[in-house]
Amino acid sequence: MDQSVAIQETLLDGATCRIAVQGAVAVGQSVESRLLGLVERGGRHAIYVYTHRRMAITAEDVWLEKVIPITEGFAVEEVIPDGDLHVIGSDVTVRIHSEGDGLTVQLPFGSHTRTFLQEVSKCSTEAVGSEGIKQNGKKLAVSPGWSQDSTDRSAPRQSKLKPEVTTEMVRSSNVMVSNVASILSEPKFGLRDTIVKSQLVQREDSYTYIQNFRFFVGTYNVNGQSPKESLQPWLRCDSAPPDIYCVGFQELDLSKEAFFFNDTPKEEEWFKAVTDSLHPDAKYAKVKLVRLVGIMLLLYVKADLALNISEVEIETVGTGIMGRMGNKGGVAIRFKFHNTSVCVVNSHLAAHMEEYERRNQDFKDICSRMQFCQSDPNLPPLTIGKHDVILWLGDLNYRLEELDVTKVKQLVDERAFPELCQYDQLKRQMNAKAVFEGFTEGEISFQPTYKYDAGCDEWDTSEKCRVPAWCDRILWKGQNIAQLSYRSHMALKISDHKPVSSVFDIGVKVVNEELYRKVFEEIVRSLDKVENANIPSVTLSQREFHFEDVKYMQLQVEKFTILNGQVPCQFEFISKPDEATYCKEWLIANPSKGFLLPGSEITIELELFVNKSTATRLNSGEEKLEDILVLHLDRGKDYFLSVTGNYLPSCFGSPIHTLCYMREPIQDMSAESIRNLTLMPLEMSDNATQAEKPLEIPKELWMMVDHLYRNASQQEDLFQQPGLRSEFEQIRDCLDKGMHDTLLGSNHSVAEALLLFLESLPEPVICYSFYSSCLECANNYVLSSQIISNLPECHKNVFEYLMAFLRELLKNSGKNNLDVNILASIFGGLLLRPPPGHPMPDITEKRKAQQFIHQFLLRENNLS
C-alpha cells in the first residue's frame, strides 16, 4: 500500500511527498509504528515523521509528530547496539538526525527501504551520497566508486573472529544489516567477478567441509485464532536447542480485511508468541518474517551463528482465485548458511477432498513463479529448485480417500498408520510423480492432524463430520539431511488442526579459510594468464522459432542451447534501438542473461504467453506474433533470433460491443470480420450501422453465467476456490469454437473463467470514463444508478445481468458461503477499473469500488 498518499493529503500546496516508509521506534518500554515521508517543497527537503492508525489511508489517519530538515549537519547512521543481534540479516536500524533533533527507527528489509534511503541520500545537502552513511560512528562510502574495484570484492574472505559486526564480515551479500553501503548503492558486477565466483563454485569441495547443524521445522494451521495458549509444547519439545527455527503458519487471519487488503494485527501476536516460546537454552536472532494474507513464515538462528547467514531473500506467490488471491499459495525465505544455500517454503494448498489435482497445480505454480533476485544482477533469478537444501512445510491439504470416516477412525485407534498411508493422496500423487518429485517425507507415526473440534482432541462433530487427514506435512530435498523426529503436538487445542514439527540434522558446507584463500589465488593467477586472450563466441542450436496455434493464457515453450567456445562468456538479450525491452510483451527468454565457462552450455526457454494486455491487438490483427531477439555477448558479437507464431482469436480480450455483434463463435469468423468489429469504436456500437441487430449481451458471458445459475447457486466457496487450468482451457475452447451446448469443467473452473473473462475486457463493464464519477458517488444509489443508465447499451445490459445473477447467488448464501462484501470486493475490482495511466488504486479506492457495487447487490431495482 502506498502510504505516501495519506501524507500528501496533509501537505500544503507546492509540497510533495516523494516516498514514504513505515518503521518502528522505541517509546519507553514499548515499540510503536511511525510513517516517514521524504517531503520536497521549493527545492528544500525534509523527513516528516507521523504517528498513524494501523492502516494509514487518508490524512485523517496520520498525525505529524516532527520534521527533520535535510540541511547542513544532516546525517544517517546505522545503529547496531553491542550484543543486539535480534534483527541480523533482516531489518535495518538507522539514526536520522539534523540540527539537534533526530530519530532512531527500525526499517523493514527490502527494496522499498533501499529506495527510500537512496532518495534521502540524493537530497542531502551535506553530500551524504559521497561521504557515506555512518555505521556505529564510522561513515561508509556509498558513492558510485564504492564498488568499482572488482578485485577487492572478490578478495579472500575476512576472518569470522572479529569481535564486532562489520561490513567486511558479510560475504557476497546485499541483505545483511551490517552491509549498509549496499542498501544505498547497488554494487557493480563485472565479468571478472563472475568468472571468479563461478570457478569457486566449481571447486567448492576443495575448500569446504561438512558440519551438521540442527534445524527445527514446524507448521500450524491456526484457523484464524489468536495465540491463547503457550507454544512451548510445540517449539520446546526437545532438550537440546536447535541451531535454526523455521516456523510456518496458515490461516493466521480469516477476516475479509486480511483476505482483500493483506492487513492483520495477528502477525505481531503470533510473532511474539513464537519468540516467547523458543528454546530457553539459547539466544536467537530473528532473520526474517514473510507473510501473504494468512500464510506466515518465521526464520530464527542462534545469535552466535547469525554472522554465517547471508543473501537473505523473501518471495510470495498467491494461487487463489484467478491465480493471484493470497488466501492460498506459498511464502518462502531463501538464504545462505555458511556455503550452503537453503530455501524454506510454507504453503497452503487448495482445500476439499476431491481437489487433489488443484493441489498439484498449486505446488507447480509456486515452484515456477517463486523467483529470488540474486545480488549479482548479471545472474538470472533463483528458483526454489536451485538450492542445496529445500524444506517444504505447510497445510498441503491432501486427504485420505476411498475410506469412510468410521473406517479411518478405526484404523487411527488401532494406530495402523502404515495401512492408512496407503490411502493418503499425497503419498499416491508422489508415487505417480505428479507432485513433489525428488522430495522425501519421513515415516508418519502420529494420528491425522485434521479435523478436530476446537478446544479439545475430539474429531470433528459438525454436520460435515470431516474424514480425518494428514493435511499438515513437512518434506525435504537435498543432500546430507537426516530427519531425527516427525511428530504432531496434541497439547495445542485452539485450532481444528494440530501443529506438526520435524527436527533435522543438516550437513552444511563450511569454508576452511586457508584452503579458500589458496584456491582463490590460483583462480586469479590462472585468470590473469588467459584474460583478454580471445573474443568470446558461442554456437546456437537453433535461431528460428515458430509457435503454432497460440491460445489465450496457454503457455507455449521452445528451447535452444547456447554452447560456449574457449573463452568465458557473459551473455544477455538486449533491446533493439528505440525499444524499451528486449522482447515483445507476450514473449520472455528464461534465463535472459547469464554466464558460461569455457566449453559449457545452457538451455534457454522461450516462453510465449498471451494475456489480457496483448490479446486485443492480436485479435484485431494490429499486432502479430513476430519478433527479433538480439543475443549479445560481452566483448563479443550479437546473434539474431527470429520468433514467429499464429494466434487463434478468442472472446477473451475482445470488447463487449464486439462480442455482441458476433453471432457465430469467434474462431468461425474471418480475420477481416474480427478486425472490423474489434476496431469498431464503442460509441458507434449503439448506432444501427451493422446489418444485424447486436445481441443484448455477449453469448459467451451468457453461457458461463447460465451454467453457474443452473449448476452452482449452492456451490460452497464459489468465486473463492480456484478451478483447474486444464478445465479453463476446455471452457475457453468451447466458447471460442462453439463446440458444445454445455461447458465442460467444474463449477469452480467456470466461475474462474467468468472472472478471467471480465478481467480481460479491454474496456471494463463500467467504462473507464465513468471511473472517477463512480468513486465519488459510491454511497449514493440514485447518482450511481444514473451513471449506469448512461453506459453504452451493451455495457448497461451486462452490468444489470451480472447484478441480477449475483443477487440470486446471495439468496443461497447459507450453502455457498458468499456474502455481499465478498462479491462486492471481487466484482468491484473487475467491473470498475481505473483507466490506463491512472495510479494503482490504493485501499481507499478499492473500498469505494466495493461500496459502489455493494449498493446494487442490495437492491432489486431495474435501471432500464
The predicted structure's pLDDT at residue 6: 79
CA distance 485 to 434: 26
- The band of 257, judged by pLDDT with boundaries at 50, 70 and 90, is low
| Residues 325/350, Cβ–Cβ less than 8 Å | no
Average pLDDT of every residue of the chain: 86
Question: Does pLDDT of 99 surpass 80?
Answer: no
| Residues 508/210, Cβ–Cβ less than 8 Å | yes
Query: Which amino acid makes up residue 372?
Result: F
The predicted structure's pLDDT at residue 80: 66
- The band of 155, judged by pLDDT with boundaries at 50, 70 and 90, is very low
The predicted structure's pLDDT at residue 193: 75
Q: Which of 554, 576, 641, 580 is nearest to 606 (CA)?
A: 641
The predicted structure's pLDDT at residue 527: 74
What does the block give as the cell for 751? 466461475
Q: Mean per-residue pLDDT for 452-456? A: 94
Q: Which of 528, 645, 509, 510 is nearest to 584 (CA)?
A: 645
The predicted structure's pLDDT at residue 545: 97
The predicted structure's pLDDT at residue 609: 96
46-60, 379-393, 755-769: lowest mean pLDDT where?
46-60
The predicted structure's pLDDT at residue 108: 78
CA distance 81 to 69: 26
Question: Does pLDDT of 61 surpass 60?
Answer: yes
Question: Does pLDDT of 40 surpass 80?
Answer: yes
Q: Is the peptide bond before 156 cis (omega within 30 degrees of 0)?
A: no
CA distance 741 to 734: 9
- The band of 356, judged by pLDDT with boundaries at 50, 70 and 90, is very high
- Please write the tens of the pLDDT for every residue from 5-33: 778 888 888 888 989 988 888 877 777 88
What does the block give as the cell for 534? 580471445
Q: Mean per-residue pLDDT for 423-438? A: 97
* CB-based burial label for 852 (10 Å; 0-12, 13-18, 19+): buried
* Kind plus residue range of the DSSP H or E element containing 51: strand 44-52
Q: How many CB atoms lie within 10 A of CB 45?
A: 20
- Please write the tens of the pLDDT for every residue from 396-415: 999 999 999 999 999 999 99
CA distance 75 to 125: 10
- Please write the tens of the pLDDT for every residue from 183-219: 222 333 466 777 888 889 999 999 999 999 999 999 9
What does the block give as the cell for 162? 572479529
3-state SS string over 447-512? CCCECECCCCCCECCCCCCCCCECCEEEEEEECCEEEEEEEECCCCCCCCECCEEEEEEEEEEEEC
- Please write the tens of the pLDDT for every residue from 814-848: 899 899 998 999 999 999 999 999 988 888 888 99
DSSP 647-691: EPP-STT--HHHHHT--S-GGGS-HHHHHHHHHS-GGGTTSTTSS
The predicted structure's pLDDT at residue 87: 42
Question: Does pLDDT of 228 surpass 70?
Answer: yes
What's the whole-model pTM score?
Answer: 0.73
